[in-house]
Amino acid sequence: MQREAAAIRAHWLGRALSTLPADHPAAEAAISDLYRLIGLSPPRFHWVASPLAALETVPPGMRASESVGRVDDWPLPARFATCQNRLYGSIDAKVRPAQLPIDRLIRREVLFSLQGSVSRCLLPPVRRAHSWGFRRSRSPKWYDVLNVSQTAYRAALRDVAGVVLDDEQRRQFDLWTAVAASCHWWWPGEHVCVVSERPVALHTEVAENNGEVRLHHSTAPAVRYADGWAEYAWHGTTVPSWAIDQPTVQRIADEVNVEVRRCAIERLGWEAYIEQAGLWLVGAAPDPGNPGCELRLYDLPEGPRVLLAVNGSVERDGHRRRYGLTVPGHLDDPLAAAGWTYGLSGEQYSLLLRRT
């Protein structure tokens, strides 16, 4: 059961994070049918290379005030949302009490996992293009309607839990499936529908046990569109391009965002950063349980301190990796600092017998 759910998740994640060119005829056909479903004639289509291009270009027939940045104020998204809610609600109503344990599994493995992956991977470029201000501010509801997690969840109810769709449900469901499989984000105006091409590159890593992924690339943009619009990310944190391309001690010092600072330091490497920034050594001590290796505690320009430690096991190339851990600024003993990272006192940590 879990394996089936994971297979469905992988299939839909692949669709959502695809970097293949959009299938214009299929997307236009599916979107046209969705327009008909809410009682409208099909729109004209305006294809753009990226969400940024969607924001910057106003196609003929669209007023300048109808910027895609204000998509939630448009009349159609709410109507499509209602139409989708009604369909999915009617499918959910078919889940019988005996199927509830499977339903829970599908929610965890498919719905929540994909919800997380899509918002962590596909929303950041849109968010920056549209300057939605604070990082964690709510994105427009329209992006929830287009998040494939909702559709994938019903596909799993059908394929794993055995929920049977009637003809009308199947017809409508196939339209949402078809549009998700053929293009990137789209913005439905009354006469013109703006549709974005997919990114040409997208790099992720596994972030959670439920298969959720996040953006990451250590040397290049994590997301890149054909028109050059790009987003950089370090283990899921979106960062300015310099943090990946050219992290320097000076730029790190000038950065106000502590998360961006940490990412840029990790990209540079703690050891290199400590050396280049000339950080002051507060103290050093042998690492108990890790013979021949030292714990070194350094002062950072402000706030916390950093403990430079050596891995207990060798890397593939035979070296032992050094890594930095930030610790509270009041700690001045390397053993106490190492202990703190595990909720231990310096004395307790000094009892460490073995590190691997």
Residues that bind other proteins (CB under 8 A): 205-207, 209, 216, 235, 258-259, 262, 289, 303-304, 311-316, 318, 323, 325-328, 341-344, 348-349, 351-356
- Establish how many alpha carbons lie within 13 A of residue 8's alpha carbon, considering only the half-sphere containing its beta carbon: 27
How far apart are the C-alpha atoms of 301 and 305, rounded to whole Å? 9
Which residue, 92, 182, 194, 185, is CA-closest to 146? 185
**Least distance from C-beta 96 to other proteins, angstroms?**
30
Nearest to 335, CA basis, from 326, 348, 325 = 348
Residues 270 and 308: beta-carbon distance below 8 Å = yes
**Which distant-in-sequence residues (6+ apart) come within 8 Å of 176 by Cβ?**
34, 84, 87, 151
| Sheet with strand 192-196: strands edge to edge | 44-48, 192-196, 186-188
**Minimal distance in Å, beta carbon 112 to other proteins?**
17
Nearer to other proteins, 90 or 311 (CB): 311
Q: Which is nearer to other proteins, 105 or 226 (CB)?
A: 105
Nearer to other proteins, 57 or 348 (CB): 348
CB neighbours of residue 301 within 10 Å: 11
Select 31 or 306, whichever has its Cβ closest to other proteins. 306
**Shortest reach from residue 326's CB to other proteins, in Å:** 4
Nearest distance from C-beta of residue 279 to other proteins, angstroms: 15
Determine the Cα–Cα distance for residues 118 and 125; give it in Å rounded to an integer.
Answer: 12
In the numeric block, the tokens 């000339």 are attached to 278
User: Which residue lies nearer to other proteins by CB, 63 or 354?
Assistant: 354
DSSP letter assigned to residue 228: S
Closest CB 171 distance from other proteins, rounded Å: 39
CB closer to other proteins, 205 vs 245: 205
Smallest CA-to-CA distance from 56 within 189, 198, 229 is with 229
Is 97 or 318 the residue whose CB approaches other proteins more closely? 318
For the bound state, the minimum distance from the C-beta of residue 348 to other proteins, rounded and expressed in Å, comes to 6
Q: Which is nearer to other proteins, 14 or 328 (CB)?
A: 328
| Spatial contact of 331 and 337, defined as CB atoms under 8 Å apart | yes
Q: How far is the CB of 205 from other proteins (least distance, A)?
A: 4
Question: Which CA distances in Å does 93 have to 80, 87, 163, 231?
Answer: 20, 10, 10, 40
Instruction: Between 41 and 356, name the residue whose CB sits nearer to other proteins.
Output: 356
Q: How far is the CB of 74 from other proteins (least distance, A)?
A: 38
Residue 248 CB, nearest approach to other proteins (Å)? 22
Query: Angle CA(20)–CA(21)–CA(23) in degrees, nearest 5?
Result: 115
Q: Using CB atoms within 10 A of its CB, is residue 146 exposed (0-12), middle (13-18) or buried (19+)?
A: buried
